[in-house]
């Protein structure tokens, strides 16, 4: 089974005529996603891949194709407006890949969607993939995934791919993999995704990848301690990062003691999470946890 998306999800891509948008839209369609529309203002009436109609607005695309999920490849200055446009058009799941969106813009978007029936993944994320549903909306390499019952949720795109590669090599398939993004402010949190994995009868274990900065991992630990019942392992990266220096993602910066890797590891360990000792041991640590 999967969370957030499935084989019946009708996908549109905002920014589909751009270099990144067109490339990843095609890869998503090749993987099996039901790509029904693209949106680029001023390019309405064109065709993508000879069969996918391009529209000027998301509202028009939804009205004509019934799209209910949007993958966003829009430049940072316009990405917040693109998210709001998708939400206002009735899109239920939005994955925003765009990196470098001003934090103030994201704060406004998160406030705007707070009481709306929409799930925002990202920004600055790799997206979502459910191998068993042959559905991908994002930039992850589809060939490394295999269908199974382990959920993956991560702040890091690259480490998501590393985790999946290790799992697949051990014949541990994945139900859904979600990259929640590495910005200081984002849509879904670890808790949001963990709650969905907890409710999903076809997800029986979870890999969670966190990093320095913020308190998302500690918040997840509190939820895990009280309400999560499935085997879960976690890798926290950035253990050698110096305070005050950003390490990769905009949100990966220690601005207080809670942002340190050791504090996150302590919280998760106390919640019963098996801690992955190093990036190369993600798969084997999960294997031990589920045996």
CATH of the domain at 53: 3.40.50.720
Q: Is residue 238 part of a domain?
A: yes
| Active centre residues (catalytic) | 249
In a domain, 107, yes or no: yes
Interatomic CA distance for residues 220 and 222, integer angstroms: 5
User: Has residue 222 been placed in a domain?
Assistant: yes
Q: What is the mean pLDDT of residues 128-144?
A: 98
Summarised one tens digit per residue, pLDDT across range 85-130 is: 999 999 999 999 999 999 999 999 999 999 999 999 999 999 999 9
Q: Are residues 60 and 170 in the same domain?
A: no
Answer yes or no: do 120 and 164 share one domain.
no
Do residue 37 and residue 63 come from a single domain? yes
Domain shared by 177 and 269, yes or no: yes
| Each residue's pLDDT tens digit, 230-271 | 999 999 987 655 555 554 544 444 455 667 889 999 999 999
Q: In what order do the strands lie in the sheet with 127-130?
A: 135-138, 127-130, 174-179, 147-154, 205-211, 232-237, 274-275
Q: How many domains does the chain have?
A: 2
Q: Please check whether residues 66 and 176 belong to one and the same domain.
A: no
Asked if the structure places residue 131 within a domain, the reply is no
Beta strands in 21-133 (DSSP E): 34-39, 47-48, 52-55, 69-72, 93-96, 119-121, 127-130
Q: Are 211 and 10 in contact (CB under 8 A)?
A: no
CATH assignment of the domain containing 169: 3.40.50.261
Same domain, 96 and 149: no
Give me the numbers of helices (H) and strands (E) for the chain, helices first please.
9, 14
Both 170 and 221 in one domain: the answer is yes
Query: Range of 105's domain?
Result: 1-124
Same structural domain, 86 and 200: no
Let me know whether 98 and 157 are in one domain.
no
Q: Is residue 133 part of a domain?
A: no
Neighbours of 231 (CB within 10 A): 18
Shared domain for 76 and 198, answered yes or no, is no
144, 211 in Cβ contact below 8 A? no
Q: Tell me which of 208 and 261 has the higher pLDDT.
A: 208
């Amino acid at each position: 089974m999967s969370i957030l998306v499935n084989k019946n999800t009708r996908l549109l891509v905002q920014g589909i005529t751009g270099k990144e948008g067109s490339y990843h839209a095609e890869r998503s369609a090749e993987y099996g996603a039901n790509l029904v529309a693209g949106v680029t203002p001023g390019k309405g009436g064109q065709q993508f891949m000879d069969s996918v109609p391009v529209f000027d607005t998301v509202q028009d695309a939804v009205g004509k194709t019934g799209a209910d999920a949007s993958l966003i490849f829009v430049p940072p200055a316009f990405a917040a407006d693109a998210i709001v446009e998708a939400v206002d058009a009735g899109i239920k799941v939005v994955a925003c890949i765009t990196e470098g969106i001003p934090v103030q813009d994201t704060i406004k978007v998160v406030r705007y969607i707070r009481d709306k029936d929409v799930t925002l993944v990202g920004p600055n994320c790799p997206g979502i993939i459910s191998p068993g549903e042959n559905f991908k909306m994002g930039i992850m390499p589809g060939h490394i995934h295999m269908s199974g019952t382990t959920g993956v949720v991560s702040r890091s795109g690259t480490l998501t791919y590393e985790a999946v590669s290790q799992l697949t090599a051990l014949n541990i398939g994945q139900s859904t993999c979600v990259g929640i993004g590495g910005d200081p402010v984002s849509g879904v949190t670890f808790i949001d995704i963990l709650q969905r994995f907890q409710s999903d009868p076809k997800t029986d274990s979870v890999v969670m990848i966190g990093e320095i900065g913020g308190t998302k991992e500690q918040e997840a630990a509190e939820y895990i301690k009280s309400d999560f019942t499935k085997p879960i392992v976690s890798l926290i990266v950035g253990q050698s990062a110096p305070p005050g220096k950003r390490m990769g993602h905009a949100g990966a910066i220690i601005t207080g003691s809670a942002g340190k890797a050791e504090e996150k590891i302590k919280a998760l360990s106390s919640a019963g999470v098996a801690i992955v000792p190093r990036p190369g041991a993600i798969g084997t640590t999960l294997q031990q946890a589920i045996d």
